[in-house]
Amino acid sequence: MRMSAFFLPVLKENPSEAQIVSHRLMLRAGMIRQASAGIYSWLPLGFKVLKKIEQIVREEQDAAGCQEVLMPTIQSAELWRQSGRYDDYGKEMLRITDRHEREMLYGPTNEEQITEIFRESAKSYRELPKLLYHIQWKFRDEVRPRFGVMRGREFLMKDAYSFDLDEAGARRAYNKMFIAYLRTYARLGLKAIPMQADTGPIGGDLSHEFIVLAETGESAVFCDKALVDRDPLAEAIDMDSDLQPMVNSWTARYAATEEKHDEARFNALPAERQVAARGIEVGHIFYFGTKYSKPMNAAVAGPDGQPVTLHMGSYGIGVSRLVGAIIEASHDDAGIIWPDAVAPFNVALINLKADDAACRAACDDLYAKLKAAGLDVLYDDTEERAGAKFATMDLIGLPWQLTVGPRGLKSGVVELKRRATGERHELSPEAALAKLVG
Protein backbone atom coordinates (compact mmCIF):
# COMPACT_ATOMS: atom_id res chain seq x y z
CA MET A 1 0.00 0.00 0.00
CA ARG A 2 1.30 3.43 -0.93
CA MET A 3 1.19 5.92 1.90
CA SER A 4 -0.19 8.53 -0.49
CA ALA A 5 -3.30 6.34 -0.93
CA PHE A 6 -3.57 4.95 2.60
CA PHE A 7 -6.05 6.41 5.10
CA LEU A 8 -3.79 7.05 8.08
CA PRO A 9 -4.92 10.10 10.11
CA VAL A 10 -2.01 10.30 12.57
CA LEU A 11 -2.00 12.90 15.34
CA LYS A 12 1.12 14.88 16.25
CA GLU A 13 -0.02 15.69 19.79
CA ASN A 14 -1.12 13.39 22.60
CA PRO A 15 -4.93 13.36 22.90
CA SER A 16 -6.01 14.88 26.20
CA GLU A 17 -8.65 12.19 26.82
CA ALA A 18 -6.17 9.30 26.61
CA GLN A 19 -5.06 8.16 30.08
CA ILE A 20 -3.01 5.07 29.22
CA VAL A 21 -0.30 4.28 26.67
CA SER A 22 -2.35 2.04 24.36
CA HIS A 23 -5.24 4.50 24.12
CA ARG A 24 -2.87 7.37 23.40
CA LEU A 25 -0.87 5.49 20.78
CA MET A 26 -3.91 3.98 19.05
CA LEU A 27 -5.41 7.44 18.63
CA ARG A 28 -2.13 9.02 17.57
CA ALA A 29 -1.37 6.21 15.09
CA GLY A 30 -4.76 6.61 13.42
CA MET A 31 -5.93 3.12 14.42
CA ILE A 32 -9.25 4.10 16.02
CA ARG A 33 -11.56 7.06 16.48
CA GLN A 34 -14.14 7.42 19.23
CA ALA A 35 -17.76 7.31 18.06
CA SER A 36 -19.26 7.78 21.53
CA ALA A 37 -18.26 6.97 25.10
CA GLY A 38 -16.52 3.57 25.09
CA ILE A 39 -17.39 2.88 21.42
CA TYR A 40 -14.82 3.14 18.63
CA SER A 41 -14.57 2.99 14.87
CA TRP A 42 -11.65 0.88 13.68
CA LEU A 43 -9.68 2.59 10.92
CA PRO A 44 -7.60 0.67 8.32
CA LEU A 45 -4.38 0.35 10.35
CA GLY A 46 -6.17 -0.76 13.51
CA PHE A 47 -8.55 -3.04 11.64
CA LYS A 48 -5.64 -4.90 9.99
CA VAL A 49 -4.18 -5.65 13.43
CA LEU A 50 -7.59 -6.68 14.79
CA LYS A 51 -8.13 -9.15 11.93
CA LYS A 52 -4.67 -10.68 12.37
CA ILE A 53 -5.29 -11.26 16.06
CA GLU A 54 -8.71 -12.69 15.29
CA GLN A 55 -7.20 -15.13 12.79
CA ILE A 56 -4.60 -16.45 15.24
CA VAL A 57 -7.31 -16.92 17.87
CA ARG A 58 -9.42 -18.75 15.28
CA GLU A 59 -6.59 -21.05 14.20
CA GLU A 60 -5.85 -22.15 17.76
CA GLN A 61 -9.53 -22.74 18.49
CA ASP A 62 -9.80 -24.88 15.37
CA ALA A 63 -6.66 -26.80 16.33
CA ALA A 64 -8.24 -27.58 19.72
CA GLY A 65 -11.24 -29.17 18.00
CA CYS A 66 -13.64 -26.24 18.27
CA GLN A 67 -16.21 -25.56 15.56
CA GLU A 68 -17.04 -21.99 14.64
CA VAL A 69 -20.58 -20.64 14.69
CA LEU A 70 -21.95 -17.11 14.64
CA MET A 71 -24.64 -16.05 17.07
CA PRO A 72 -26.63 -12.80 16.93
CA THR A 73 -25.74 -9.66 18.81
CA ILE A 74 -29.39 -9.20 19.86
CA GLN A 75 -30.81 -11.87 22.19
CA SER A 76 -34.21 -12.62 23.67
CA ALA A 77 -34.75 -11.62 27.29
CA GLU A 78 -36.74 -14.83 27.71
CA LEU A 79 -33.60 -16.96 27.43
CA TRP A 80 -31.97 -14.98 30.20
CA ARG A 81 -35.05 -15.36 32.37
CA GLN A 82 -34.79 -19.13 31.92
CA SER A 83 -31.26 -19.08 33.32
CA GLY A 84 -32.20 -16.63 36.06
CA ARG A 85 -29.65 -14.03 34.99
CA TYR A 86 -31.87 -11.40 33.38
CA ASP A 87 -32.61 -9.50 36.58
CA ASP A 88 -29.28 -10.31 38.22
CA TYR A 89 -26.92 -9.03 35.53
CA GLY A 90 -27.30 -5.34 36.37
CA LYS A 91 -27.20 -2.10 34.46
CA GLU A 92 -24.26 -3.26 32.30
CA MET A 93 -26.84 -5.08 30.18
CA LEU A 94 -28.40 -2.91 27.47
CA ARG A 95 -32.09 -3.81 27.48
CA ILE A 96 -34.27 -2.91 24.51
CA THR A 97 -37.84 -3.49 23.29
CA ASP A 98 -38.73 -4.15 19.66
CA ARG A 99 -41.79 -2.78 17.84
CA HIS A 100 -43.90 -5.73 19.03
CA GLU A 101 -43.05 -4.94 22.68
CA ARG A 102 -40.82 -8.01 22.95
CA GLU A 103 -38.02 -7.57 25.44
CA MET A 104 -34.59 -8.00 23.91
CA LEU A 105 -31.00 -7.26 24.92
CA TYR A 106 -27.67 -6.54 23.27
CA GLY A 107 -25.65 -9.60 24.28
CA PRO A 108 -22.92 -9.07 26.88
CA THR A 109 -22.11 -12.80 26.67
CA ASN A 110 -23.68 -15.91 25.08
CA GLU A 111 -24.11 -18.73 27.60
CA GLU A 112 -27.90 -18.65 27.30
CA GLN A 113 -27.96 -18.44 23.51
CA ILE A 114 -25.56 -21.33 22.95
CA THR A 115 -27.33 -23.47 25.58
CA GLU A 116 -30.65 -22.94 23.80
CA ILE A 117 -29.07 -23.89 20.44
CA PHE A 118 -27.56 -27.07 21.82
CA ARG A 119 -30.65 -27.96 23.86
CA GLU A 120 -32.79 -27.91 20.73
CA SER A 121 -30.29 -29.84 18.62
CA ALA A 122 -28.52 -32.53 20.68
CA LYS A 123 -30.59 -35.46 21.93
CA SER A 124 -28.14 -38.30 22.68
CA TYR A 125 -24.92 -38.79 24.62
CA ARG A 126 -23.45 -40.02 21.31
CA GLU A 127 -23.44 -36.39 20.12
CA LEU A 128 -21.01 -35.41 22.88
CA PRO A 129 -18.51 -33.97 23.50
CA LYS A 130 -18.75 -30.75 21.51
CA LEU A 131 -16.80 -27.49 21.54
CA LEU A 132 -18.36 -24.51 19.75
CA TYR A 133 -17.08 -20.96 19.47
CA HIS A 134 -17.85 -17.67 17.83
CA ILE A 135 -16.16 -14.30 17.41
CA GLN A 136 -18.72 -11.53 17.77
CA TRP A 137 -19.19 -7.98 19.00
CA LYS A 138 -20.49 -7.61 22.56
CA PHE A 139 -21.89 -4.69 24.51
CA ARG A 140 -21.64 -3.98 28.23
CA ASP A 141 -22.78 -0.59 29.44
CA GLU A 142 -19.80 0.16 31.67
CA VAL A 143 -20.51 2.94 34.13
CA ARG A 144 -17.15 4.56 33.36
CA PRO A 145 -15.78 3.36 30.04
CA ARG A 146 -12.16 4.41 29.83
CA PHE A 147 -8.73 3.41 28.62
CA GLY A 148 -9.80 3.10 24.99
CA VAL A 149 -10.29 -0.48 23.78
CA MET A 150 -9.02 -1.83 27.10
CA ARG A 151 -12.33 -1.09 28.81
CA GLY A 152 -14.91 -0.06 26.25
CA ARG A 153 -18.62 -0.64 26.05
CA GLU A 154 -18.54 -2.37 22.65
CA PHE A 155 -15.82 -4.97 22.08
CA LEU A 156 -14.94 -7.96 19.92
CA MET A 157 -14.91 -11.21 21.87
CA LYS A 158 -14.15 -14.84 21.19
CA ASP A 159 -16.47 -17.06 23.22
CA ALA A 160 -16.13 -20.85 23.23
CA TYR A 161 -18.53 -23.25 24.96
CA SER A 162 -18.06 -26.90 25.85
CA PHE A 163 -20.79 -29.54 26.21
CA ASP A 164 -20.04 -32.82 27.96
CA LEU A 165 -21.84 -35.68 29.65
CA ASP A 166 -20.06 -35.39 33.00
CA GLU A 167 -17.51 -33.44 34.99
CA ALA A 168 -14.60 -35.56 33.81
CA GLY A 169 -15.42 -34.79 30.18
CA ALA A 170 -15.90 -31.11 30.95
CA ARG A 171 -12.50 -30.92 32.59
CA ARG A 172 -10.90 -32.45 29.49
CA ALA A 173 -12.49 -29.65 27.46
CA TYR A 174 -11.27 -27.12 30.03
CA ASN A 175 -7.73 -28.43 29.71
CA LYS A 176 -7.86 -28.14 25.91
CA MET A 177 -8.83 -24.51 26.20
CA PHE A 178 -6.18 -23.90 28.86
CA ILE A 179 -3.43 -25.11 26.51
CA ALA A 180 -4.99 -23.45 23.45
CA TYR A 181 -4.93 -20.12 25.29
CA LEU A 182 -1.27 -20.47 26.20
CA ARG A 183 -0.44 -21.15 22.56
CA THR A 184 -2.60 -18.29 21.31
CA TYR A 185 -0.91 -15.65 23.43
CA ALA A 186 2.56 -16.98 22.64
CA ARG A 187 1.80 -16.75 18.92
CA LEU A 188 0.68 -13.16 19.44
CA GLY A 189 4.08 -12.34 20.91
CA LEU A 190 2.73 -12.08 24.45
CA LYS A 191 3.83 -13.66 27.71
CA ALA A 192 0.57 -14.68 29.40
CA ILE A 193 0.47 -16.35 32.81
CA PRO A 194 -2.56 -18.45 33.91
CA MET A 195 -3.76 -17.46 37.37
CA GLN A 196 -6.57 -18.95 39.44
CA ALA A 197 -9.54 -16.58 39.42
CA ASP A 198 -12.99 -15.93 40.80
CA THR A 199 -15.79 -16.96 38.48
CA GLY A 200 -17.82 -13.75 38.96
CA PRO A 201 -21.27 -13.49 37.34
CA ILE A 202 -20.50 -16.35 34.92
CA GLY A 203 -20.63 -18.82 37.80
CA GLY A 204 -18.95 -22.17 38.39
CA ASP A 205 -16.16 -23.51 40.57
CA LEU A 206 -13.09 -23.69 38.30
CA SER A 207 -11.64 -20.65 36.61
CA HIS A 208 -8.36 -19.16 35.39
CA GLU A 209 -7.46 -15.71 34.17
CA PHE A 210 -4.68 -15.26 31.65
CA ILE A 211 -2.57 -12.26 32.58
CA VAL A 212 -0.14 -10.49 30.25
CA LEU A 213 2.80 -8.93 32.04
CA ALA A 214 3.17 -5.25 31.17
CA GLU A 215 4.76 -2.35 33.04
CA THR A 216 1.61 -0.31 32.46
CA GLY A 217 -0.72 -3.14 33.55
CA GLU A 218 -3.90 -2.41 35.45
CA SER A 219 -3.17 -4.54 38.53
CA ALA A 220 -0.33 -6.11 40.51
CA VAL A 221 0.49 -9.77 39.90
CA PHE A 222 2.96 -12.17 41.47
CA CYS A 223 4.40 -15.35 39.98
CA ASP A 224 7.24 -17.82 39.73
CA LYS A 225 9.82 -16.76 37.10
CA ALA A 226 9.71 -20.29 35.68
CA LEU A 227 6.28 -19.44 34.24
CA VAL A 228 7.65 -16.30 32.57
CA ASP A 229 10.55 -18.19 31.00
CA ARG A 230 8.44 -21.08 29.71
CA ASP A 231 7.51 -21.14 26.00
CA PRO A 232 4.30 -23.06 25.20
CA LEU A 233 5.20 -23.18 21.50
CA ALA A 234 8.36 -25.15 22.25
CA GLU A 235 6.35 -28.03 23.73
CA ALA A 236 4.92 -30.82 21.59
CA ILE A 237 1.20 -31.06 22.24
CA ASP A 238 -1.40 -33.62 21.20
CA MET A 239 -4.77 -32.04 21.91
CA ASP A 240 -6.41 -35.48 21.94
CA SER A 241 -4.12 -36.79 24.68
CA ASP A 242 -4.47 -36.42 28.44
CA LEU A 243 -3.52 -32.77 28.99
CA GLN A 244 -3.97 -32.81 32.77
CA PRO A 245 -0.26 -33.35 33.54
CA MET A 246 0.67 -30.35 31.41
CA VAL A 247 -2.03 -28.19 33.00
CA ASN A 248 -0.80 -29.33 36.41
CA SER A 249 2.76 -28.35 35.53
CA TRP A 250 1.56 -24.80 34.84
CA THR A 251 -0.80 -24.42 37.79
CA ALA A 252 1.57 -25.99 40.34
CA ARG A 253 3.81 -22.92 40.11
CA TYR A 254 2.93 -19.86 42.16
CA ALA A 255 0.89 -17.28 40.23
CA ALA A 256 -1.64 -14.91 41.78
CA THR A 257 -3.37 -11.63 41.20
CA GLU A 258 -3.28 -9.00 43.92
CA GLU A 259 -6.68 -10.16 45.24
CA LYS A 260 -5.49 -13.75 45.68
CA HIS A 261 -1.88 -13.05 46.60
CA ASP A 262 -0.39 -15.12 49.45
CA GLU A 263 2.66 -13.20 50.66
CA ALA A 264 4.01 -16.11 52.67
CA ARG A 265 3.88 -18.56 49.73
CA PHE A 266 5.42 -16.02 47.40
CA ASN A 267 8.25 -15.21 49.79
CA ALA A 268 8.96 -18.93 50.17
CA LEU A 269 10.20 -18.92 46.57
CA PRO A 270 13.93 -18.33 46.04
CA ALA A 271 14.49 -14.60 45.57
CA GLU A 272 15.71 -15.05 42.00
CA ARG A 273 12.39 -16.69 41.07
CA GLN A 274 10.11 -14.04 42.55
CA VAL A 275 8.41 -11.90 39.91
CA ALA A 276 6.30 -9.00 41.14
CA ALA A 277 4.90 -7.11 38.17
CA ARG A 278 1.89 -5.44 36.62
CA GLY A 279 -0.57 -7.38 34.53
CA ILE A 280 -3.50 -7.11 32.12
CA GLU A 281 -6.26 -9.71 31.92
CA VAL A 282 -6.66 -10.90 28.31
CA GLY A 283 -8.66 -14.10 28.74
CA HIS A 284 -10.82 -16.01 31.21
CA ILE A 285 -11.91 -19.64 31.20
CA PHE A 286 -14.65 -21.24 33.33
CA TYR A 287 -16.05 -24.65 34.10
CA PHE A 288 -19.51 -24.16 35.58
CA GLY A 289 -21.09 -27.60 35.43
CA THR A 290 -24.89 -27.46 35.14
CA LYS A 291 -25.34 -23.80 36.11
CA TYR A 292 -27.07 -23.00 32.80
CA SER A 293 -28.07 -26.41 31.49
CA LYS A 294 -30.12 -27.32 34.57
CA PRO A 295 -32.46 -24.29 34.71
CA MET A 296 -32.71 -24.27 30.90
CA ASN A 297 -33.44 -28.04 30.72
CA ALA A 298 -30.51 -28.83 28.43
CA ALA A 299 -30.16 -32.60 28.64
CA VAL A 300 -29.50 -35.61 26.44
CA ALA A 301 -30.39 -39.27 26.74
CA GLY A 302 -27.56 -41.10 28.53
CA PRO A 303 -26.28 -44.63 27.78
CA ASP A 304 -29.15 -46.08 29.83
CA GLY A 305 -31.75 -43.93 28.09
CA GLN A 306 -32.24 -41.66 31.09
CA PRO A 307 -31.84 -37.88 30.70
CA VAL A 308 -28.47 -36.45 31.70
CA THR A 309 -28.04 -32.73 32.29
CA LEU A 310 -25.15 -31.33 30.28
CA HIS A 311 -21.93 -30.16 31.87
CA MET A 312 -20.67 -26.91 30.37
CA GLY A 313 -17.79 -24.48 30.35
CA SER A 314 -17.15 -21.13 28.68
CA TYR A 315 -13.90 -19.63 27.47
CA GLY A 316 -13.45 -15.98 26.54
CA ILE A 317 -10.73 -13.97 24.83
CA GLY A 318 -11.09 -10.22 24.38
CA VAL A 319 -9.93 -9.90 20.77
CA SER A 320 -10.21 -6.12 20.56
CA ARG A 321 -8.78 -5.76 24.08
CA LEU A 322 -5.74 -7.71 22.93
CA VAL A 323 -4.81 -4.92 20.53
CA GLY A 324 -4.44 -2.57 23.48
CA ALA A 325 -2.74 -5.21 25.62
CA ILE A 326 -0.07 -5.88 22.99
CA ILE A 327 0.69 -2.15 22.78
CA GLU A 328 0.85 -1.87 26.58
CA ALA A 329 3.38 -4.72 26.61
CA SER A 330 5.35 -3.62 23.53
CA HIS A 331 6.10 0.07 23.02
CA ASP A 332 8.72 2.72 23.65
CA ASP A 333 8.81 6.51 23.81
CA ALA A 334 8.62 6.75 20.01
CA GLY A 335 5.52 4.57 19.59
CA ILE A 336 4.24 1.05 19.09
CA ILE A 337 6.47 -2.00 18.52
CA TRP A 338 4.33 -4.66 16.85
CA PRO A 339 5.25 -8.35 17.16
CA ASP A 340 5.72 -9.74 13.65
CA ALA A 341 2.65 -11.97 13.81
CA VAL A 342 0.16 -9.12 14.26
CA ALA A 343 1.88 -6.16 12.59
CA PRO A 344 -0.44 -4.35 10.15
CA PHE A 345 2.39 -4.36 7.56
CA ASN A 346 5.63 -6.33 7.55
CA VAL A 347 7.82 -3.57 6.15
CA ALA A 348 7.88 0.23 6.05
CA LEU A 349 9.54 1.32 2.80
CA ILE A 350 10.65 4.94 3.13
CA ASN A 351 11.61 7.09 0.15
CA LEU A 352 13.56 10.01 1.61
CA LYS A 353 13.30 12.09 -1.55
CA ALA A 354 10.16 11.37 -3.52
CA ASP A 355 11.04 13.81 -6.31
CA ASP A 356 14.41 12.13 -7.00
CA ALA A 357 14.18 9.84 -10.03
CA ALA A 358 16.81 7.39 -8.78
CA CYS A 359 15.16 7.09 -5.35
CA ARG A 360 11.77 6.62 -6.88
CA ALA A 361 13.01 3.94 -9.27
CA ALA A 362 14.83 2.05 -6.50
CA CYS A 363 11.79 2.22 -4.19
CA ASP A 364 9.38 1.15 -6.90
CA ASP A 365 11.61 -1.84 -7.68
CA LEU A 366 11.90 -2.86 -4.02
CA TYR A 367 8.17 -2.36 -3.49
CA ALA A 368 7.31 -4.66 -6.41
CA LYS A 369 9.78 -7.34 -5.33
CA LEU A 370 8.69 -7.29 -1.67
CA LYS A 371 5.04 -7.63 -2.67
CA ALA A 372 5.88 -10.43 -5.10
CA ALA A 373 7.56 -12.25 -2.20
CA GLY A 374 4.32 -12.09 -0.23
CA LEU A 375 5.24 -9.30 2.18
CA ASP A 376 2.76 -6.58 3.11
CA VAL A 377 4.48 -3.24 2.57
CA LEU A 378 3.58 0.31 3.52
CA TYR A 379 5.46 2.46 1.02
CA ASP A 380 5.94 6.09 2.06
CA ASP A 381 5.99 7.78 -1.33
CA THR A 382 4.88 11.15 0.03
CA GLU A 383 6.82 14.42 -0.10
CA GLU A 384 6.90 14.82 3.70
CA ARG A 385 10.25 15.78 5.24
CA ALA A 386 12.49 12.93 6.37
CA GLY A 387 12.08 13.57 10.11
CA ALA A 388 8.31 13.40 9.86
CA LYS A 389 8.49 10.15 7.88
CA PHE A 390 10.72 8.48 10.46
CA ALA A 391 8.53 9.71 13.33
CA THR A 392 5.38 8.32 11.70
CA MET A 393 6.96 4.95 11.00
CA ASP A 394 8.29 4.67 14.56
CA LEU A 395 4.85 5.65 15.86
CA ILE A 396 2.97 2.95 13.94
CA GLY A 397 5.66 0.41 14.83
CA LEU A 398 6.09 -1.85 11.79
CA PRO A 399 8.74 -4.56 12.38
CA TRP A 400 11.13 -3.40 9.64
CA GLN A 401 12.00 -0.02 8.14
CA LEU A 402 13.75 0.01 4.75
CA THR A 403 15.02 3.50 3.92
CA VAL A 404 16.15 4.66 0.50
CA GLY A 405 17.89 8.00 0.05
CA PRO A 406 20.02 9.70 -2.63
CA ARG A 407 23.17 9.66 -0.51
CA GLY A 408 22.98 5.94 0.15
CA LEU A 409 22.16 5.08 -3.43
CA LYS A 410 25.32 6.81 -4.61
CA SER A 411 27.20 4.27 -2.47
CA GLY A 412 24.90 1.45 -3.58
CA VAL A 413 23.28 0.93 -0.17
CA VAL A 414 19.95 1.28 1.62
CA GLU A 415 19.33 1.25 5.37
CA LEU A 416 17.46 -1.58 7.08
CA LYS A 417 16.26 -0.99 10.66
CA ARG A 418 14.66 -3.44 13.06
CA ARG A 419 12.02 -1.48 14.99
CA ALA A 420 12.14 -3.63 18.14
CA THR A 421 15.87 -3.28 18.74
CA GLY A 422 16.78 -0.15 16.78
CA GLU A 423 19.54 -2.14 15.08
CA ARG A 424 20.49 -0.65 11.70
CA HIS A 425 22.41 -2.08 8.74
CA GLU A 426 23.58 -0.51 5.50
CA LEU A 427 23.12 -3.12 2.80
CA SER A 428 22.84 -3.35 -0.92
CA PRO A 429 19.20 -3.34 -2.06
CA GLU A 430 19.59 -7.01 -3.02
CA ALA A 431 20.97 -7.96 0.40
CA ALA A 432 18.24 -6.02 2.20
CA LEU A 433 15.61 -7.74 0.09
CA ALA A 434 17.14 -11.15 0.81
CA LYS A 435 17.13 -10.47 4.57
CA LEU A 436 13.49 -9.42 4.54
CA VAL A 437 12.28 -12.22 2.31
CA GLY A 438 14.41 -14.88 4.01
Task: Give the per-residue pLDDT at 201.
Answer: 53
Asked if residue 278 lies in contact with residue 217, where contact means CB atoms within 8 angstroms, the answer is yes
359/240 same-domain check: no
320/373 same-domain check: no
Of 284, 310, 336, which residue is a domain's last? Answer: 336
The pTM of this model reads 0.95
100/146 same-domain check: yes
What CATH number has the domain bearing residue 393?
A: 3.40.50.800
433/323 same-domain check: no
Tens digit of pLDDT for each residue in 9-30? 999 999 988 989 999 999 999 9
203/170 same-domain check: yes
φ, ψ at 148 (rounded to 5°) = 65, -135
Task: Give the per-residue pLDDT at 417.
Answer: 98
249/116 same-domain check: yes
The total number of structural domains that make up the chain: 2
105/197 same-domain check: yes
φ, ψ at 275 (rounded to 5°) = -115, 115
Instruction: State the residue range of the domain holding 396.
Output: 345-437
What CATH number has the domain bearing residue 318?
A: 3.30.930.10
Beta strands in 57-187 (DSSP E): 67-68, 74-76, 94-97, 103-106, 130-139, 154-164
Task: Give the per-residue pLDDT at 244.
Answer: 96
Burial of 121 (0-12, 13-18, 19+ CB in 10 A): exposed
Of 302, 336, 370, which residue is a domain's last? Answer: 336
Question: Using the 8-state DSSP alphabet, how is residue 410 labeled?
Answer: H
Asked if residue 328 lies in contact with residue 218, where contact means CB atoms within 8 angstroms, the answer is no
Of 294, 312, 336, which residue is a domain's last? Answer: 336
Which is more confident, 197 or 200? 197
248/382 same-domain check: no
257/180 same-domain check: yes
124/171 same-domain check: yes
Q: What would the mean pLDDT of 148-174 be, rounded to a whole number? A: 96
230/272 same-domain check: yes
Instruction: Give 347's strand partners.
Output: 377, 400
Q: What would the mean pLDDT of 391-419 be, rounded to a whole number? A: 97
258/312 same-domain check: yes
